[in-house]
Amino acid sequence: MTKKPPAIGSLPFTVADGLEHGIGRGTLDGPRFDRPFHGVRQAKETHVSSDAPKQPRNVARLRAFKKRCAQLAVRMGVEDFVSHTSALVLHGAPTPRDWDGVIHISGIRPRNPIRIRGVESHRLSAREAAFTFRGRIRVEAPARAWVQASSQLSDVDLIVAADYLVARRRRLTTIEELRAEAVRMRRPRLQGVIDRVRDGAESGKETELRIRLVDGGLPEPELAVELFTANGTFVARLDQAYSRYRVAVEYDGRQHAEDANQFERDADRWRAIGDEGWHLVRILNHHLEPNPQVAVDLVRRALLRAGWRP
């Protein structure tokens, strides 16, 4: 009796492994298996019921990307790893819209990493490897991946990603580690970018909003400010705040627009903030895109009414 590769039915495997375990070439190239990359096979998923809950587009897209990385991993060399923006994605950091166009793979010189369609390969200067594992996938360490990605991302995108990585509640890296890595990899321009990284943002859009406000000539807001009543009762955690002027700014992604209970809780929270004498400026996505000046002007008007003078 021929052995079957343990990956069949769940995990991807190489064509070489399939042949070694007695699966014929015709079967491997037939309809039973997906062929995500040259030399890689994976059993096709069983039909998903149309009654199954539909995932949000961004969640489905991320899931598909992680699956592709896992499929590619079986073809990667033992010293190769996912790097650059692809590594940031696997670490969970927000990235630009085109983040899943290719998978970035690196090897340390003198190694040549795999070169196949759908992959961008990089040969890195010789140094001790620092990859971590995300499931079965070897992934570049967060600080190194962030510096690598600086050749692909704008300054705003880099700050958004760094805010995610250094956030206290996950602490995948630190601002000091980012600085050290930028020096080590000889990227002096990144020091100015790192100066703008903050711990406290809850989402990529919050970071983008902060950057747009400051670049628009407004003071830099405080992050994650806790608001209490005069007798010490907790009211709300303000995403961004100008305490001197009692102006709070929040990005509202409307994740809960169809959740009536959540909307009611939000409405009560907004009222409670107002009861404490604060003006809450809620920024929606159409205030940031396509023209972020709309968001800047909304906050500027609130600050001017509160007594701020440029």
pLDDT digits (tens, 9 = 90+) for 269-294: 999 999 999 999 999 999 999 999 99
Q: How far apart are CA 45 and CA 67, in angstroms?
A: 12
- The residue that leads in pLDDT, 58 or 11, is 11
Identify the CA nearest to 37 among candidates 121, 116, 136.
116
Q: Beta 247-251 vs 279-283: how paired, if at all?
A: parallel
Residue showing tokens 């967060």 = 142
Tell me the helix, strand and coil percentages in the chain, rounded to 5.
40, 15, 45
Type of residue numbered 153: L
CA-to-CA dists, residue 238 to 5, 29, 279, angstroms: 53, 56, 11
What does the DSSP 8-state code read for residue 245?
G
Cis peptide bond upstream of 96, omega within 30:
no
Q: How far apart are CA 53 and CA 255, in angstroms?
A: 17
pLDDT in tens, 109-164: 988 898 999 999 999 999 888 989 998 899 999 999 999 999 999 999 999 999 99
What pTM value is reported for the model?
0.88
pLDDT in tens, 153-198: 999 999 999 999 999 888 999 999 999 999 999 999 999 999 999 9
- The residue that leads in pLDDT, 96 or 279, is 279
The half-sphere exposure of 213 on its side-chain side, counting CA atoms within 13 A, is 28
Tokens in use for 229? Answer: 């009543």
- In sequence order, the 6+-apart residues with CB closer than 8 A to the CB of 230 are none
- The predicted pLDDT at position 163 comes to 97
Identify the CA nearest to 267 among candidates 277, 284, 282.
282
Q: How far apart are CA 233 and CA 70, in angstroms?
A: 48
Cis peptide bond upstream of 110, omega within 30:
yes
The overall average pLDDT reported for the chain is 90
Phi and psi at residue 268, in whole multiples of 5°? -65, -40
